[in-house]
Structure 1
Amino acid sequence: MTTELLLGGRIYTPTSTSATAIAVENGVIAWIGEDRAARALHPEAQVTELDGAFVAPAFVDTHVHLTATGLALTGPDLTGGLDAVRTTLSATPGDTVIARGWDDTAWDRPLQRTDLDEHRAIYAARIDEHSAQASTALRALVPGLEGLAGFSPDGPLTAAAHHAVRAAAIAALTDAQITAAQTTALDAAAAAGIAAVHECGGPEIAGERDFALLRERTHGVLVRRYWGEAARDADHAREILERTGADGLAGDLFVDGSLGSRTALLHRPYADAPSTGVAYLDQETVTAHVLACTEARIQAGFHAIGDAAVARVVAAFEAAVDTFGGPRVASCGHRVEHAEMVSAREARKLGDWGVNASMQPQFDAFWGGADGMYARRLGAERAATLNDFALLARNAVPIAFSSDSPVTPLDPWATLRAATQHHTAGSAVSPRAAFAAATRGAWRAGGVRDGVAGTLVPGAPATFAVWDADELVVRAPSDAVQRWSTDPRAGVAPLPDLAPGARPPRCLRTVVDGRTVFAA
């Protein structure tokens, strides 16, 4: 039996606020305590000196797109202004260019077809990945593009037209290029202290070839694969699962689009456009999918951002509760991705039914606030209600935090900071709750309900990250809780400081089931 003893650290564990040592045996945490006792109990162990490093459960990112992330990490960066985007694309070599990240929020106009080289196949996705500009050459590869929903002769493409040009661009990639991009993304996840990711694939995202290539590869970072295809009935749900090898029929099964691209489905029109967005799935289809998956005991879920889209999803779960009962629905661990516009009444129902909310706090950091994109799209009053993590937590909705990479970076500490520094007063959660949503809650959202995953306790999988971190602190969202939680008698374990300006922790090592998958 091989034992590694890590000494001289700061261990984030619910069993102690003063633990400095952790013992790992055959991929499992065997013991946690203080250095002197550790040496006495494990005299033959291999010793690793932590030198004051912070050791905590590794993160889980519950919503990523690995190929797109890898391409974004190695491809042209379109996050600059309009002139910079045009210059970057012009300087990028190759007959086919896949780029992403432009954001017209602060521009005079969106990126136009005429901004791109007409002779090369260029796919340039907006930052939210729900619209894109496509060059004349790429558009020519899609017969009948002009007749698809979301087509614009010169402006960005949305809806079906966007999905069609994205598919054409991905088709130009070789298998080797796709696999390399996936490896790059997983390597980046490991270097960010992430032990597992949930890939959100589908026929309208990267397609079955991409999904199959991911299934065939191995990496130290664990991958749970969701496929976004609507099931008509239980037999159809089982057939889709068998065909794709997916772990669940959830993730980006689009009910609507995004607020930035004005394709999120709303009850009332956008403040800056006379539209209520795009409905990709009607109520009948959404309900049939939930009923099918619940009957087949398959985890179901949807992409739902706008309030009208969330309402359709909640109505579908309610139909499943009426048909199969609340316990059966809760046992499936169904999900809603993003869930940006949830009412108090809907939150109560989601909490009662055990539906997981996979959310992205960096969305608020990027686009929240009085002068942010949300306020421009929806008006200040509606915008202030978005991404209300505290509302969901109060209603016992199981919350998992993620990045939606490449939409926002693979940066768990930035995610936690955004969750605790929400633009809207009263919508944030405490650092402790945020950390739980990115660890224990994220494992739960992926169907792991053993009670120990995402914690450092004896008997739990040895899945953790080692961080170079400054002073650890205990912070709380209110004075009353602050007085209680910072009292040593409360037994609340401290975390790295998430306040603005604090130095973020740097990952030194990531371990998954006892195996090191990243070492600085």
Structure 2
Amino acid sequence: MTQSVGHLFVGGKVFLHAKKPGLETEPQFGNAIYIRDGIIEHVGFEDDDAISQGRAAGAVIHNLNGQTILPGFIDGHIHLLRLGQSLSKAALDHCENEDDVRKVIKDHAVANPDEPRILCKGWMRYMSKPLASLIDDLDPRPIYVDSKDLHTTWCSTSALKELDAENLEDPEGGKIERDANGHPTGAFEEAAVFNIIWPFLASVATEKDREDWIWAAVKAYNGSGYVGAIDMAMEEQAWETLVKIRQEQSEQQLPFRLAAYWLMRPSSSEEECLSQVDRAIEVHKQLSAEESPNLHVVGIKVICDGIIDACTAYLSEPYLKGADAIKPSTGKPFWEPKILNAVVRKADAAGLQVALHAIGDAAITMAVDALSTCSPLNRHRMEHLELASARDAKRLGELGITASIQPVHADPWILRAWPGLLGSHRCERAFPYREFSDGGAPLALGSDSPTSPWDIMGNVYVATTRKSYRNTEYDEVVNYKYRLGICESVVAASYGSARSVFWDERLGSLKKGKIADLTIWDMEWEKDKLLSAQVKETWFNGEKVWGA
């Protein structure tokens, strides 16, 4: 096979990989990179011999005009199918009260008369109570409103009827909110969302709908500078659709790499839980990383607790107030420790990676305890880690557990309810990323989209400034002492995510011999100017897949 002449990028900055960057690490740049046949041939400077040889061979010259080349980014925590579906939902993110919510839903319903259901996203509890009666008059069609964090779905009465909610039991680890007479009032929480709402909405969608959602999500991500992601809630229908796309598009694959964690559903039956691990092992073997390097199941995802705002995160001390102020609660773990340990051990023994969602301090301790018996060679990870104790922050590094973090969740604009729920003493422990890094834990930076914006530099901005990306006029800063450095954050969002799923030998940094995934940015390397950064081009496997 004849080699191509390749592409040579000059006249700008090329980010040189930083090994184990810290808070004060300064970036190092070259000014030239040569790629050919999907591989990086050389990274360095314009007067290097390899660059001169590329010119002589007739490489296509790209003048960067002072712009910056960074690696292709890999989102460390995403829900791909949900993201694609969410792109056409009514967005409530900027609503402040019930009137705002009602207006957005009504306007969306009027603008989309042919849709069978009204689907919305971005609701938070401070905006309105999740009561069907508050939205029933807006449209006769079923209305489903996702909370920002995807841990609650607010339904209209017509939605409750098509779900047959009156006759549904609360799943383990979840709740259907009901009135004093036992009738559903509109809200599905935690496992009731994952086990009831998600499968139902996926089942009423067509196969073409699901394929379109995935392609839409990939297109949106390419346009944001991503070449891959780690899916954190893979289930049967999404997997079937992805495998079908892979089979049908053999000549034109998705310009995207996806490692997936199979979602485990809580149960009091250890046998049932272990059978779910068996299924994860089965799909893990269905497409191996060697056979299908750009699409494979790498492990299992276990959701150990809920979220702070819904008072479902598992804490060591009770909430100060919340959904039921007269009954102070610490929240509850979604899994019995004995069953969680059995699930984790079986997955680890089978060579699967384990990802544990843990937000409250008690859930984090439980999750670290479970992973402490596993092999660090499998690169297990913990998701979110929003209220970790200093002791557990240190244990992550000692045990080689990847800290999978989403700085956009630390945005102070969306944490305004926390002081009232937790008190200032616990808020001082919020999102202690600095302790994770200083303690030696590998970092993987992600967005958790569609629960949060997936703007790469917006994520890096919050990580480095601890200020709001969503509302730049809001002056609150969340625990500045726990900030990360720019270099540290960029590496965590590229190499760190790649490393977490064993992609680091071929992806995540700009080095000779690696796959030519790269992004071109118009940006200044200053934390207070990150929100002005713009991605101009995304290259996947040596080919441009998106350009401004």
Normalised TM-score (structure 2): 0.81
Residues 34, 51 of structure 2: 8 Å contact kept = no
Structure 2 residue 276 is matched with structure 1 residue 241: no
Q: Indicate the larger mover: 432-441 or 228-237.
A: 228-237
Structure 2 residue 378 is matched with structure 1 residue 332: yes
Aligned match for 1:442, one of 497, 516, 525: 497
Summarize deviations over 1:456-480 as a string: whole Å, max 9, x none: 12222211101122x4xxxxxxxxx
CA separation of 1:461/1:103 partners in 2, compared to 1, >3 Å: closer, same or farther?
Answer: same
Following the alignment from structure 1 to structure 2, what is the Cα–Cα distance between the partners of residues 367 and 315?
Answer: 32
CA separation of 1:236/1:184 partners in 2, compared to 1, >3 Å: closer, same or farther?
Answer: closer
Following the alignment from structure 2 to structure 1, what is the Cα–Cα distance between the partners of residues 412 and 228?
Answer: 24
Residues 333, 355 of structure 1: 8 Å contact kept = yes
Taking the TM superposition and a 5 Å limit, the aligned residue runs for 1:341-352 are 341-352=387-398
Following the alignment from structure 1 to structure 2, what is the Cα–Cα distance between the partners of residues 276 and 229?
Answer: 23
Structure 2 residue 361 is matched with structure 1 residue 315: no
Residues 139, 165 of structure 1: 8 Å contact kept = no
Residues 265, 308 of structure 1: 8 Å contact kept = yes
Following the alignment from structure 2 to structure 1, what is the Cα–Cα distance between the partners of residues 197 and 507?
Answer: 40
Summarize deviations over 1:318-337 as a string: whole Å, max 9, x none: 233xxxxxxxx111111111
Q: Equivalent residue of 2:230, what SS?
A: strand
Aligned match for 1:271, one of 320, 326, 330: 320
Following the alignment from structure 1 to structure 2, what is the Cα–Cα distance between the partners of residues 166 and 237?
Answer: 20
Structure 2 unaligned runs (5+)? 19-26, 178-183, 246-252, 287-295, 323-327, 467-477
Q: Equivalent residue of 1:436, what SS?
A: helix
Structure 2 residue 190 is matched with structure 1 residue 159: yes
Summarize deviations over 1:387-407 as a string: whole Å, max 9, x none: 110010111111111000011
Residues 201, 211 of structure 1: 8 Å contact kept = no
Following the alignment from structure 1 to structure 2, what is the Cα–Cα distance between the partners of residues 276 and 332?
Answer: 32
The CA deviation at 1:360 is 0.6
The CA deviation at 1:414 is 0.7
Following the alignment from structure 1 to structure 2, what is the Cα–Cα distance between the partners of residues 241 and 319?
Answer: 20
CA separation of 1:503/1:166 partners in 2, compared to 1, >3 Å: closer, same or farther?
Answer: closer
Q: Indicate the larger mover: 57-66 or 270-279.
A: 270-279
CA separation of 1:247/1:49 partners in 2, compared to 1, >3 Å: closer, same or farther?
Answer: same
Aligned-residue RMSD, C-alpha: 2.3
Following the alignment from structure 2 to structure 1, what is the Cα–Cα distance between the partners of residues 423 and 46?
Answer: 56
Structure 2 residue 106 is matched with structure 1 residue 75: no
CA separation of 1:390/1:200 partners in 2, compared to 1, >3 Å: closer, same or farther?
Answer: same
Taking the TM superposition and a 5 Å limit, the aligned residue runs for 1:49-198 are 49-79=63-93, 80-81=95-96, 82-91=98-107, 92=109, 93=112, 94-105=115-126, 107=127, 109-117=128-136, 119-143=140-164, 144-145=166-167, 147-148=169-170, 149-152=174-177, 153-154=184-185, 156-163=187-194, 164-198=196-230
Partner of 2:402: 356
Following the alignment from structure 1 to structure 2, what is the Cα–Cα distance between the partners of residues 310 and 380?
Answer: 20
Summarize deviations over 1:262-315 as a string: whole Å, max 9, x none: 211112111223222242211012111211012111111211111121121111
Residues 234, 296 of structure 1: 8 Å contact kept = no
Partner of 1:481: none
Structure 1 unaligned runs (5+)? 321-328, 472-495
Following the alignment from structure 1 to structure 2, what is the Cα–Cα distance between the partners of residues 347 and 22?
Answer: 38
Following the alignment from structure 1 to structure 2, what is the Cα–Cα distance between the partners of residues 271 and 154?
Answer: 25
Following the alignment from structure 1 to structure 2, what is the Cα–Cα distance between the partners of residues 447 and 53?
Answer: 30
Following the alignment from structure 2 to structure 1, what is the Cα–Cα distance between the partners of residues 189 and 320?
Answer: 19
Partner of 2:470: none
Residues 461, 530 of structure 2: 8 Å contact kept = no
Structure 2 residue 52 is matched with structure 1 residue 40: yes
Residues 131, 158 of structure 1: 8 Å contact kept = yes
Normalised TM-score (structure 1): 0.86
User: How many equivalent pairs are there?
Assistant: 476
Q: Equivalent residue of 1:140, what SS?
A: helix
Taking the TM superposition and a 5 Å limit, the aligned residue runs for 1:203-282 are 207-217=235-245, 218-229=253-264, 237-243=277-283, 245=286, 247-251=297-301, 253-273=302-322, 274-282=328-336
Following the alignment from structure 1 to structure 2, what is the Cα–Cα distance between the partners of residues 139 and 388?
Answer: 40
CA separation of 1:160/1:7 partners in 2, compared to 1, >3 Å: closer, same or farther?
Answer: closer
